[in-house]
Amino acid sequence: MPTITLSKKVVEKLVGKQLPLEELKDRIAMLGTDLEEIEGDNIHVQIFPNRPDLLSEQGFSRALSSFIGVKTGLRKYTVKQSNHKVIVDPSVTGIRPFTACAIVKGLHFDSETLRQLIQLQEKLHVTYGRKRKKAAIGIYPLEKITFPVTYKADLPHKIIFQPLDAEKEMTAAEILEEHTTGKEYGSLLQALPRYPFFIDARGEILSMPPIINSEKTGRVTAETTGVFIECSGFDFDVLSRCLNMIVTALADMNGEIYTVKLEYPEGTKVTPNLTSQKIKLDLSYLNKRLGLHLSEQEAGNLLERMGYGFERGEVSIPSYRADILHQVDLAEDIAIAYGYENFQEEIPNVATIGEEDAFEKFCKKIREILVGLQLLEIKNFHLTTKEDFTTKMNLSEELIPLKNALGDHNYLRNAILPSLLKTLAENQHHEYPHNIFEIGRIFTPSAEEDTGVRERETLGIVLCHEKTDFTEIKQVVTALLHSLGLEFKINEITHPSFIIGRVGAIIIDGEQIGMIGEFHPQVLMNWEVMVPAVGLELDLEKVFGLIK
Strand order in the sheet with 400-401: 383-384, 411-412, 400-401
Q: Residue 124 — very low, low, confident or very high, per pLDDT cuts 50/70/90?
A: very high
* Strand pairing class (160-161; 170-171): antiparallel
Please give the average per-residue pLDDT across 185-211, as a whole number. Answer: 95
What is the edge-to-edge ordering of all strands in the sheet holding 34-39? Answer: 3-7, 42-46, 34-39
Q: What residue type is 499 in one-letter code?
A: I
What three-state secondary structure class fits 339?
coil
Quickly state the pLDDT bin for 102 (edges 50, 70, 90): very high
Percent of the chain's residues with pLDDT above 70: 99
Average pLDDT over residues 122-141: 94
**To the nearest whole percent, how much of the chain has pLDDT over 90?**
86
- Mind listing the pLDDT tens digit for each residue in 37-83? 999 899 999 998 899 999 999 999 999 999 999 999 999 999 999 99
Closest CA to 540 of 418, 383, 416: 416
Residue 450, pLDDT score: 79
Q: Give the single-character DSSP code of 180.
A: H
SS3 label, residue 293 = coil
**pLDDT (0 to 100) of residue 405:** 66
Query: May I ask the CATH class of domain 79-271?
Result: alpha beta
Give the chain's mean pLDDT.
93
The domain segmentation of the chain, as residue ranges, is 3-52, 79-271, 277-339, 358-547
Name the pTM for this structure: 0.74
Lowest model confidence (mean pLDDT) among 193-197, 244-248, 428-432? 428-432
What is residue 416's predicted lDDT score, i.e. its pLDDT? 95
Report, as an integer, the average pLDDT of 378-405: 88
Give tens-digit pLDDT for 521-542: 999 999 999 999 999 999 999 9
pLDDT score, position 446: 87
Provide the 10 A C-beta neighbour count for residue 164: 16
The pLDDT score that the predictor gives to residue 5 is 92
168's CB contacts (< 8 A; 6+ apart) are 162
Beta bridge partners of residue 328, listed in sequence order:
none
Is pLDDT of 154 > 70?
Answer: yes
* Residue 548, pLDDT above cutoff 90: no
407 has pLDDT over 80: no
pLDDT for 449 equals 84
| pLDDT at residue 406 in the model | 64
Q: Once rounded to an integer, what is the mean pLDDT over residues 335-348?
A: 89
- The pLDDT, as a whole number, for residue 355 is 87
Output DSSP code: residue 399: P
pLDDT at 228: 97
CATH architecture of 277-339: 2-Layer Sandwich (3.30)
The residue-averaged pLDDT of 314-327 equals 94
Q: Given this model, what pLDDT does residue 403 score?
A: 78
Contact 232, 209 (CB under 8 A): yes
The residue-averaged pLDDT of 139-161 equals 96
**163-177 per-position pLDDT tens digit:** 999 999 999 999 999
Residue 32 confidence (pLDDT): 84
Q: 468-514, pLDDT tens digit by residue?
A: 999 999 999 999 999 999 999 999 999 999 999 999 999 999 999 99
Sequence-separated (6 or more) residues with CB below 8 Å from residue 387: none
CA pair distance 539, 304, nearest whole angstrom = 47
* DSSP letter (8 states) at residue 53: G
E strands, 42-95, are 42-46, 79-80, 85-88
Contact 62, 252 (CB under 8 A): yes
CA distances from 287 to 283, 328, 483 (A): 6, 11, 47
Give burial (CB, 10 Å; 0-12/13-18/19+) of 98.
buried
Domain 358-547: CATH class, spelled out: alpha beta
